[in-house]
Amino acid sequence: MYSVTRLLDVTEADRGRVLGTLRAAARQTGAVRHVVEPTLSGSRNGGDVLVHLRFPGKQQWLTAAERFGRALDDAAITGSNGAEYAGTPSRLADRPEGTVYRTLL
């Protein structure tokens, strides 16, 4: 699997619009799984919006990256931090699927 994570700083007045745009763009990437959600208010250096996309491999991301990048080219997005990495997702069988997402960049 290949994961792409972005923490975005977004002007408060435009967050709802930007979330809608990014969610639509994430659905169109072909990612196996995606999360586009606001971060917890008051988080320190945590950005305003978390984007996490998971692809079968790096090539699938490279195919979608330019198109998704157009959604990030928005004046309301004032900052971006991110990471891309290959890895294998894991889940403990006796635990429910998580509902909180943490990232350290």
92 burial type by CB count under 10 A (0-12 exposed, 13-18 middle, 19+ buried): exposed
The token duo for 92 is 């403990």
Q: What pLDDT is attached to residue 86?
A: 94
Q: Please name which of 89, 30, 90, 34 lies closest in space to residue 65, comparing C-alpha atoms.
A: 30
pLDDT value, residue 6: 95
Per-residue pLDDT tens digits of the chain, which is 105 residues long? 999 999 999 999 999 999 999 999 999 999 999 999 999 877 777 789 999 999 999 999 999 999 999 999 999 999 999 999 998 877 777 777 666 666 665
pTM of the model: 0.85
Which residues fall within 8 angstroms of residue 11, CB to CB, at 6 or more apart? 76, 78
Q: What are phi and psi of 68, to 5 degrees?
A: -65, -35
The pLDDT of residue 2: 96
Report the pLDDT value the prediction gives residue 40, as an integer from 0 to 100: 83
Residue carrying structure tokens 């990495």: 85
The confidence score (pLDDT) of residue 43 equals 73
Q: How many residues does the chain have?
A: 105
Q: At what angle do helices 15-27 and 58-72 cross, to 10 degrees?
A: 150
Which pLDDT belongs to residue 23?
A: 97
Domains parsed from the chain with CATH numbers: 2-86 (3.30.70.100)
